[in-house]
Structure 1
């Protein structure tokens, strides 16, 4: 089972590089996607203990659900865009894909609390198995808008019939 808890110590600071920041209530600066945050020092944040006070509440609240460390450690075997700049683009693409994969894992894990039929439980477990298995960069990067993503989304939507309707 994949742990959906972020472990920044096992990541190459992917959120600090891959994601865009829009200056406003959540972020003190504008930063385009694909460029490192100016607060980044190595693989850590120079203002981590003061993020909220310095205007970066969006960083405090952000959770990649463990996608960053999985991309860094599993897909790129500990590689980093900082040490090998040519990895930047592939790591950005894999990070986007893994975030989508981990969002589906979160939904499928939550669905385990529903009183599923044996066949639906088997489908749920099969989907979880595929998403939890070691994945190559090409598969991860291609996941958003793939047939696999569409199949999981359709399955999750079909589970609405197990949720009691309110009022």
Structure 2
């Protein structure tokens, strides 16, 4: 077996992945991913507050149950706000972020919301590229929004995406 083939075997087929509502029982696994991919991760308390607030919280799992990603979506009066979307580091670039965005937009459409708003760090080039390919547009800047190294702050790029049907 070639190394390319073994790598392909390790990546789950997108149609084999399953969404499930996030629960408190998922948080141990969620925190492992969160802490491994972000220099300033959400805390367990952030996730608990979001769950207890009734936000749309979803996990994405492989058929065997391994957590591959998750997202947190707050529904507002006229739009949804994507608070957190994350993919396990070894699966970056495999389409799982797009799959989660499809789910988030399906939820927004089901609640008759026209768009999803999000913030992203300017330093997160991978996420920016995903959002722009998905059709999000830059609509503003939030100055000093994110914590950064050495007690500094990093701005956030505010982006909005129209709640449209996913591309085939």
- With the length of structure 2 as denominator, give the TM-score of the two structures: 0.24
Higher fraction of strand: 2
Higher relative contact order (CA 8 A, sep 6+): 1
Higher fraction of helix: 1
Over alpha carbons, which structure has the higher Rg?
Answer: 1
